Amino acid sequence: MSRLAVALLAVILLTGAAPLTAEQDHRRLLDLLHISSLRLGVSGDPNAPNATNYDEAKADPASPLPDPLILREGGKVDTADTWWRRRRAEIVEDFEAEIYGRVPDDVPMPRWTVTDSASETLGNAAAVTRHLVGHVAGAQGATVDILLTLTLPAKAEGPVTVILQLAPDAAFRARFPSTWRAQVLAKGWGAAVLDVTSVQPDSGDGLAAGIIGLTAGGKPRGLDDWGALRAWAWGASRVLDYFGTDRAIASARVALQGHSRFGKAALVAMAFDPRFAVAFISSSGAGGAALLRRNYGERIENLAAAGEYHWFDGAFLTYSGPKSASDLPVDAHELIALCAPRPVFIGAGSKGDNWVDPRGMFLAEVAAGPVYKLLGAGDLGTSVMPPVGTALTTGALGFRQHELGHTAEPNWPSFLVFAARTLNARGRP
């Protein structure tokens, strides 16, 4: 029996009612919003009647991007103090209310336990890998067990930098082997993997389970309650809490990484938790680093459909019904701006990765640049997208589009060069 099935069975036993399916819950939210139907999403099949647009000449946003340096009342943000005191909070409020939802005030904290520890060799580096469980206890016996894998150099001298990857369960990761941990260990750093699906299942069927279901007592979400992306980001922050208690880890030198939907979650975590030092956001696309106002690849209508709506709050569905992406008070460039002045490296593929709109992610970084410059950090240094295979790594914003498809693997070396400037500057190694 899958972990989700076990969690949903527990919900039935605790509440006496079967949890809603994704389709039922999706319809419930539409009814709360008084929306009869949503616009149809686009298809990646070029022969489909609703085929997505891959013509750059037709991709320009239908409306101007919101200016991250203009206050709601219309005043210009021309000092760092105004950004920190006023404008940043306005943008956070818009993202919480309209896209990612709000984290409840009463979410129980996990209690971490090391379940096993073993020596291993990654590349030429000797390492020790621990498996940990963060146990969260809720009301009426509800529980969530957060799974974390932590690999540290076997003979580290002092606290080490750690790269924290947000990823699904171990079985999924085994299907897509990667050398990233060996590359990280070769630098004398540590590598950690948070199984985000142990924090919150990646399904609308699972909203009654996971940390969202535990906190809500198995009841359906309200319209501005958090979705899975915010829950996964919450899980990343709880890992960082744990790192702060481990003397082997330099908790001020923790970088985040995620790919595809987990890249969306990594960017949300970076934006909402200022303790993370650096981020590598890979192929995150719409709902992540790609501009939602662009007509290219995946669109907001896809995100609001029953297969992906659970990543967001209920109010987000409005923008695929009576409203459109042009009506959003914020866009992806402002999510990146919330990370400023901390470094963010955004990567994507080329062949087969157009669905995530690499140019839309690059343009979002360009539009976030003025906030980085206001706060004394370097932007991308150009508004012209570089050729495939060329890395931009000299500023606090980085970008590279590699030659392959929907994978992060070819961009790891460039990210590690980019990240080392900040992580090494904060102390050893």
Task: Write out pLDDT tens, residues 101-129.
Answer: 999 999 999 999 999 999 999 999 999 99
* pLDDT value for 147: 98
Of the chain, the percentage scoring pLDDT greater than 90 comes to 88
* pLDDT value for 2: 67
How many whole angstroms separate alpha carbon 282 and alpha carbon 401? 10
Measured in Å, how far apart are the chain's first and last C-alpha atoms? 44
Of the chain, the percentage scoring pLDDT greater than 70 comes to 95
Q: Within the chain, what is the greatest distance between any pair of CA atoms? A: 61
Q: Is the pTM of this model over 0.85?
A: yes
Rounded mean pLDDT, 395-415: 97
For the cut 90, the answer to whether the pLDDT of residue 62 exceeds it is: no
How many whole angstroms separate alpha carbon 41 and alpha carbon 303? 8
Centre a 10 Å sphere on the Cβ of residue 92 and count the other Cβ atoms it contains.
17
Measuring CA to CA, how many Å separate 304 from each of 219, 286, 387, 390?
A: 21, 11, 33, 34
* pLDDT value for 234: 98
* pLDDT value for 50: 96
Rounded mean pLDDT, 43-69: 94
Domains of the chain: 3-425 (3.40.50.1820)
Centre a 10 Å sphere on the Cβ of residue 329 and count the other Cβ atoms it contains.
15
Q: What's the pLDDT tens digit per position in 139-186?
A: 889 999 999 999 999 989 889 999 999 999 887 788 888 999 999 999
Q: What's the pLDDT tens digit per position in 237-276?
A: 999 999 999 999 999 999 999 999 999 999 999 999 999 9
Q: Is 289 exposed, middle or buried (0-12, 13-18, 19+ CB in 10 A)?
A: buried
* pLDDT value for 116: 97
What is the DSSP pairing of strand 125-137 with strand 143-153? antiparallel
CA atoms within 13 A on the CB side of 91: 30
- Measuring CA to CA, which residue among 181, 212, 190, 195 is closest to residue 134? 195
For the cut 60, the answer to whether the pLDDT of residue 13 exceeds it is: no
Work out the mean pLDDT of the chain and round it to a whole number.
94
DSSP string, 227-289: -HHHHHHHHHHHHHHHHTT-TTEEEEEEEEEEETHHHHHHHHHHHH-TT--EEEEES--BTTT
DSSP 92: H
How many whole angstroms separate alpha carbon 7 and alpha carbon 173? 22
For the cut 80, the answer to whether the pLDDT of residue 294 exceeds it is: yes
How many whole angstroms separate alpha carbon 338 and alpha carbon 341? 8
Three-class SS of residue 144? strand
* pLDDT value for 9: 54
